[in-house]
């Protein structure tokens, strides 16, 4: 007795699948870059300006996998698990495409030396193996809200609600962190 393969008829066709992968790839790369030790912060101004487009892209990115899984021939646990996880992952990837990945690409291509200001949430927390001696900033999405590798002498000067200036390569909307200093 042979096993019967279950297939999902891809309603968008092969070009649609390639387009979807190309849309999510920058977000995955941005997460990989951040977790590899390159500190990147979008400005609070950019996050607030991009909120509505990010929400729209996130909702569409959540609805598409939900719809595809509903149309699939899978039943039971696989389908239920997919219906729970895929929309959340789709929303996260779509929203971060607008808020993180696109501005990161602009910073790499057209960046210059900039200085942006942020508010500290916590500077005394112990980091993990990927982010030693972090300083957490306010208003930046999770996974991108920490500046890693900050020397202890600088961290000792910082506390909640302190303002810091972060400088590095970037644009007026985003910065790859090279240094930081307290500004209040």
- For residue 165, pLDDT over 90 is answered with yes
Q: What is the pLDDT of residues 110-129, one digit of tens each?
A: 999 999 999 999 988 877 77
Confidence of residue 168 (pLDDT cuts 50, 70, 90): very high
Q: For strands 163-170 and 112-122, give the pairing.
A: antiparallel
Which of 11-25, 50-64, 134-148 is least confident? Answer: 11-25
Token pair belonging to 154: 């600088």
Q: Which pLDDT value is given to residue 93?
A: 86
**What per-residue confidence (pLDDT) applies to 44?**
92
Question: What angle, 0 to 180 degrees and rounded to 10, lies between the N-to-C axes of helices 13-35 and 77-96?
Answer: 70
Give the tens place of pLDDT for each residue, 53-89: 999 999 988 887 777 777 766 677 766 777 778 788 8
Angle, alpha carbons 153-158-159 (nearest 5°): 140
| pTM confidence score | 0.75
């Amino acid at each position: 007795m042979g096993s019967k393969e279950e297939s999902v008829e891809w309603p968008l066709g092969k070009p649609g699948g390639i387009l979807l992968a190309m849309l999510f790839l920058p977000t995955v790369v941005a997460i990989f870059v951040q977790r590899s030790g390159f500190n990147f912060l979008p400005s609070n101004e950019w996050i607030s300006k991009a909120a509505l487009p990010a929400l729209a892209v996130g909702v569409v990115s959540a609805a598409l996998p939900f719809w595809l899984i509903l149309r699939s021939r899978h039943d039971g646990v696989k389908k239920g698990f997919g219906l729970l996880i895929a929309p959340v992952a789709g929303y996260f990837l779509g929203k971060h495409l607008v808020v993180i990945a696109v501005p990161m690409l602009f910073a790499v291509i057209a960046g210059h030396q900039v200085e942006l200001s942020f508010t500290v949430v916590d500077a005394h927390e112990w980091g993990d193996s990927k982010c030693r001696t972090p300083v957490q900033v306010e208003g930046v999405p999770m996974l991108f809200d920490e500046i890693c590798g900050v020397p202890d002498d600088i961290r000792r000067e910082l506390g909640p609600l302190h303002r810091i200036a972060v400088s590095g390569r970037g644009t007026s909307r985003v910065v790859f962190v090279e240094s930081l200093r307290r500004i209040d």
